[in-house]
A = this chain, B = another copy of it.
Amino acid sequence: MEADHVIRALAALAQEHRLAAFRLLVEAGPDGLPAGAIAERVGVPPSSMSFHLAQLANAGLVTQRRASRSIIYAADYAAMTGLMGYLTENCCGGVPCDNAAACGPATNRKNA
């Protein structure tokens, strides 16, 4: 995952309503949720939610598909896994799981 892409993903999650929407979608699983339901549960007007969902989609964190009149959004777990991988590798010193996701200096990487 490129640094540029990572920044888009981080920026996408760094907003109250978008983080709430993404958490909702992660919980919802692969079936996802229609845009209107997300807007209602997050508590923002549809046009605002549409703006935020577009940002999440642009960052690659969610997918969208049409089902009849609704557009269903779903979390892209692979993208989130990729983001976590980048952060672990580049911002945690490369310590992955040995210590319950504890981050440490980069020295560990070379020894491990």
Copies in the complex: 2
| Residues 1-20 (chain A) with a chain B CB within 8 angstroms | 3, 6-7, 10-11, 13-16, 19-20
- Quote the shortest CB–CB distance from A83 to chain B (angstroms): 8
| Residues 24-44 (chain A) with a chain B CB within 8 angstroms | 26-30
- Quote the shortest CB–CB distance from A5 to chain B (angstroms): 12
Main secondary structure on A side of the interface with B? helix
Q: Which one, B14, B27, B30, B85, contacts A7 given CB within 8 A?
A: B14
Task: Report the separation of the CA atoms of residues A75 and B102 in the bound assembly, to the nearest whole angstrom.
Answer: 13
A105 touches B7 (CB 8 A): no
| Residues 46-95 (chain A) with a chain B CB within 8 angstroms | 75, 77-78, 80-81, 83-85, 87-88, 90-93
